[in-house]
Amino acid sequence: MSKYYRLRSSNADNSFMRFTVRGAVLGSIFGIFICGLAGGLAAWSAVTAWRVDGVAGAILAAIIGMVVATALWAGGSTLLRTLGWIRR
């Protein structure tokens, strides 16, 4: 078997878990959290600086936050793939 699909037996319930799958899930959760936090802060800063409040400010903040978080996620994953830290 390839080193990317090594299986580990758990003594508790005799189930098998892939090392890389668990690491990929935790890495993705961490990345989503960081990108979402940065997007939220960017959106809050932009809406505060432009002094937009109410429903219009909330909609604008949601759009800005999602665009920033998506751009950070795409840029970060591209950078990590270029550096060879992640595959696929």
Which of 68, 61, 72 shows the shortest CA–CA distance to 39?
Answer: 68
- pLDDT value of position 31: 94
For residue 78, pLDDT beyond 60: yes
What is the per-residue pLDDT across 52-70, written as a single tens digit (0 to 9) for each? 999 999 999 999 999 999 9
For residue 74, pLDDT beyond 60: yes
- Taking the CA atoms of 36, 69, 20 and 80 in sequence, report the sign of the dihedral they define: negative
C-alpha–C-alpha distance, residues 88 and 76, integer Å: 14
What is the per-residue pLDDT across 20-49, written as a single tens digit (0 to 9) for each? 666 778 889 999 999 999 999 999 999 999
Enumerate the domain spans of the chain.
Answer: 3-83
C-alpha–C-alpha distance, residues 23 and 40, integer Å: 26
**pTM of the entire predicted model:** 0.72
How crowded is residue 49: how many other Cβ atoms within 10 Å of its Cβ? 8
